[in-house]
């Protein structure tokens, strides 16, 4: 059994990871920006003693450092940098990041949450990850982060954040390989969550079940890959 740390576990893909991992007996450190308001996560924790909730605001560097301190001495096998921001739902918020109308404050916020924070998480958790068995870091990216596949434009803030996150993945994969780490970017598919919207292709249960299968099969040979929920390579 492994210990997972899942960020943004109070709703959407992160909550579903916590649910499915707890069901098979994995230990889950589930983070939420506001644990007091995370009712579904609280119910899940009450039913699964191997799940614990930690407060974490990824826009606040001190909050990330504080989590690192709280986890000193706790081995973490898998870090799932899941939490992410689009700035609303895919269905109704794309007008905030188009080429003729950009919310620059939002763009900065997206970069902090989607790029800087996952990087800092690796930094503050290095001792815990070193002490883990699997030494696996998954950065939740997106098909929209693929430069090759960008034939439509739009979503400039989100796309650029996920492309930057992919660069972080690639860099960490090169630097941490010697210490036995496998670092990958995951494209979870267009998934029915607040971010993905109701018309998305994948129900969240199916999306996450597929992702967990892919993650279970990852080995050192996958280090530095950008994979999707079916294990296929996504072009950078």
Ligand X SMILES: NC(=O)c1ccc[n+]([C@@H]2O[C@H](COP(=O)([O-])OP(=O)(O)OC[C@H]3O[C@@H](n4cnc5c(N)ncnc54)[C@H](OP(=O)(O)O)[C@@H]3O)[C@@H](O)[C@H]2O)c1
Give the residues lining the site for ligand X (CB under 6 A).
8, 10-14, 33-34, 56-59, 82-85, 113, 140, 142, 188, 190-191, 193-196, 200
Task: Provide the minimum distance between the beta carbon of 27 and ligand X in the complex, in angstroms, as a whole number.
Answer: 20
Task: Provide the minimum distance between the beta carbon of 180 and ligand X in the complex, in angstroms, as a whole number.
Answer: 25
HEC-encoded secondary structure of the chain: CCEEEECCCCCHHHHHHHHHHHHCCCEEEEEECCHHHCHHHHHHHHHCCCEEEEECCCCCHHHHHHHHHHCCCCCCCEEEECCCCCCCCCCCCHHHEECCEECHHHHHHHHHHHHHHHHHHHHHCHHHHHCCCCCEEEEECCHHHCCCCCCCCCCHHHHHHHHHHHHHHHHHHHHHHHHCCEEEEEECCCECCCCCCCCCCECHHHHHHHHHHHHHCCCHHHCCCEEECCCCECCC
Q: Which is nearer to ligand X, 85 or 106 (CB)?
A: 85
Task: Provide the minimum distance between the beta carbon of 37 and ligand X in the complex, in angstroms, as a whole number.
Answer: 8
Q: Which is nearer to ligand X, 11 or 131 (CB)?
A: 11
Q: Which is nearer to ligand X, 58 or 106 (CB)?
A: 58
Task: Provide the minimum distance between the beta carbon of 46 and ligand X in the complex, in angstroms, as a whole number.
Answer: 19
């Amino acid at each position: 059994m492994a210990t997972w740390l899942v960020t943004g576990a109070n709703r959407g893909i992160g909550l579903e990871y916590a649910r499915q991992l707890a069901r098979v007996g994995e230990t889950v450190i589930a983070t939420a920006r506001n644990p007091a308001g995370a009712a579904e996560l609280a119910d899940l924790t009450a039913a699964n003693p191997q799940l614990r909730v930690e407060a974490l605001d990824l826009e606040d560097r001190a909050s990330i450092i504080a989590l690192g301190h709280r986890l000193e001495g706790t081995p973490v096998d898998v870090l799932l940098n899941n939490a992410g921001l689009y700035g609303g739902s895919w269905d109704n918020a794309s007008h905030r990041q188009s080429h003729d109308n950009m919310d620059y404050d939002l763009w900065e916020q997206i970069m902090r949450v989607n790029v800087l924070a996952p990087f800092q998480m690796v930094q503050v958790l290095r001792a815990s990850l070193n002490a883990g068995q699997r030494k696996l870091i998954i950065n939740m990216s997106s098909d929209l982060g693929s430069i090759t596949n960008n034939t439509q434009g739009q979503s400039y803030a989100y796309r650029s954040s996920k492309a930057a996150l992919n660069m972080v993945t690639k860099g960490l994969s090169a630097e941490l390989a010697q210490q036995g780490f496998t670092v990958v970017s995951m494209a979870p598919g267009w998934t029915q969550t607040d971010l993905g919207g109701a018309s998305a292709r994948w129900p969240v249960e199916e999306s996450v079940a597929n992702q967990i299968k892919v993650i279970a099969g990852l080995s050192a040979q996958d280090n530095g890959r950008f994979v999707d929920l079916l294990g296929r390579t996504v072009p950078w």
